[in-house]
Amino acid sequence: MSTESPQQSVRYGMVIDLDKCTGCGNCAVACHMENNVPFRTDESDKSRNMAWLRIYKVKNGAEYPHARVAYIPRPCMQCDRHTPCVSVCPASATNYDKSTGLVDQINTRCIGCRYCMAACPYMVRCFNWWDPAWPADAEKYLNPDVAPRMRGVVEKCTFCSHRYIQAKNRARQEGRNYLEKGDYIPACVEACPVEAMHFGDLNDPEYEVAHLIKSPRAFRLLERLHTEPKVYYLSSHEWVRRWADNDAVNTQSAYSQQRQGVES
Amino acid sequence: MRVISQKRMNSAIMVAIFLAGFVVFHFIGRYFVPMLAYTRHEQPVDFSHVFHGNDVDMSCETCHFFYEDGSWSGIPTLDVCMNCHSEQLGESEAEKVFVTEYVQKNREVQWELYFRQPQCVSFSHSSHVKEAKLACETCHGPQGLSRHPTKYIVNRITKYSYVVYDSASSTIGSALVRSPEENVWGTMGMDECAKCHRARGVSTACFICHK
């Protein structure tokens, strides 16, 4: 369990540029395919459906011609400090890996109490209300590196930790005991067509993300909770930042203030 | 003294008889017919590691190797065998069966693998062999010295399989029960993994192996 903000060498994190994101949903589809996330015939019930990466659409609340939209792709935030899901899990089924900063889920250990789902401020976690069922042909496309989950357990985004294991295998084969830039990338980042998503070690200046998180455009979701997420967002719009802090009331005023600033 | 009704007395006696019977039969089973708990499978092809390694002088890496991406090849598939055995090379009965039944029919050999892991486990050969420099024998036993394939023994209840490396031994059953550390190489169950990790001071955190 992580109690303090750890100062370890490797901390994998993600930076998503909301100014570039078009909300196309490629990352979400790639995530579904990569991680064998089950789906239902009718996906309209969003309180029951499964998604490791959801895309939220936010509006600035203004009327045409000033109406603006932004899309916020939301994987697991991989909280660094007081990781809420880890600290509440009674079965130790979820863990903070101090060597990488990844929050992993051991599905076979989960007892399905859903305490972590209540604790997670980002609604990242999904519960398997049914045994996953795939159409006959779709089973052939399942990823053999990710174990399908069963009814009654919680699952979540792991930053494609199986890809981390594969990257380490490849590195060892090449005689390295470290990962090089680009060895390990989650499926969503790989799939982004506009390169709005960046991934890497936040502590290593060789990675772009280490610089991007210091940008004045950078912010995180619900920062005032101080869970220190390792997923950063970039936006030049104040109203988007207000949304990220769940401050819907001030969204429109933030937008009009910024617009006046630009016009004057 | 409290009066116990006849009905309750009867049911208490029934329970006592059941428990006594359970204990008696448990010990009979445990010490006289222990192998009842296990099923035993013969391997489909009588493969000799010694013949391939010593007499033909092949290296282990011909069939068991790391791919370029660092994943482990495991047991060779039929096309690896067919590099040499596209037709019969020797006169042995085992090879004849292999060529006629599998090569000519283009059928994969369904080996009984005692080291198959459940889906929720991600085992990396490269971390154990390349990084920790463990010998293959540490987990697999002296398989490379076997003249006949090891028998596959699986517990009917736990479904754990055991490899008994001394396949010439006729007392496999009793060996499994009486002196497992001498004759049986292991179960490849989680306890074995955790035992070794603990002994070597490696992390036993769940996510090390589970995915």
Residue A102 lies in a domain: yes
DSSP B174: H
- Minimum-distance CB partner of B70 among A97, A146, A169: A169
Q: Please indicate, yes or no, whether residues B116 and B158 belong to a single structural domain of this protein.
A: yes
Using the Cβ of A104 and the Cβ atoms of chain B, whether some distance falls under 8 Å is answered with yes
Report the pLDDT value the prediction gives residue A6, as an integer from 0 to 100.
Answer: 46
Task: Judge contact between A146 and A159, C-beta under 8 A.
Answer: no
The complex's ipTM?
0.74
Q: Residue B175: its pLDDT value, please?
A: 57
A106 touches chain B (CB under 8 A): yes
pLDDT digits (tens, 9 = 90+) for A26-62: 999 999 999 999 988 888 888 888 999 999 999 988 8
Q: Which residues of B touch A148 (CB under 8 A)?
A: 119
- Using the predicted structure, report yes or no on whether residue B176 has a pLDDT greater than 70: no
Peptide bond into A186 cis (omega under 30): no
Is B124 at the interface with chain A, CB within 8 A?
yes
pLDDT for residue A1: 41
Contacts of B126 in chain A (CB under 8 A): 168-169, 172-173
Contact residues, chain B, for A92 at CB < 8 Å: 206
Residue A168 placed within a domain: yes
Q: How far apart are CA A107 and CA A79, in angstroms?
A: 19
Expressed as residue numbers, the domain containing A77 is 12-263
Query: What is the span of the domain harbouring residue B143?
Result: 36-71+111-211
Tens digit of pLDDT for each residue in B40-56? 888 888 888 888 888 88
Residue A1 maps to a domain: no
Task: Tell whether B61 lies on the interface with A, counting CB pairs under 8 A.
Answer: no
Residue A141 has pLDDT above 80, yes or no: yes
Pair B100, B202 in one domain? no
| 8 A C-beta contact, residue A241 and residue A223 | no
In this predicted structure, the answer to whether residue B182 has a pLDDT above a threshold of 70 is no
Task: Please indicate, yes or no, whether residues B17 and B58 belong to a single structural domain of this protein.
Answer: no
The CA R_g of chain A, rounded to the nearest whole Å, is 19
On whether residue A184 sits in a domain, the answer given is yes
Mean pLDDT score, A93-101: 89
pLDDT at residue number A5: 45
Yes or no, beta carbons of A109 and B206 under 8 Å apart = yes
CB contact under 8 A, A161 and B211: yes
Q: B-chain residues within 8 Å CB-CB of A166?
A: 69-71
CATH number at residue A65: 3.30.70.20
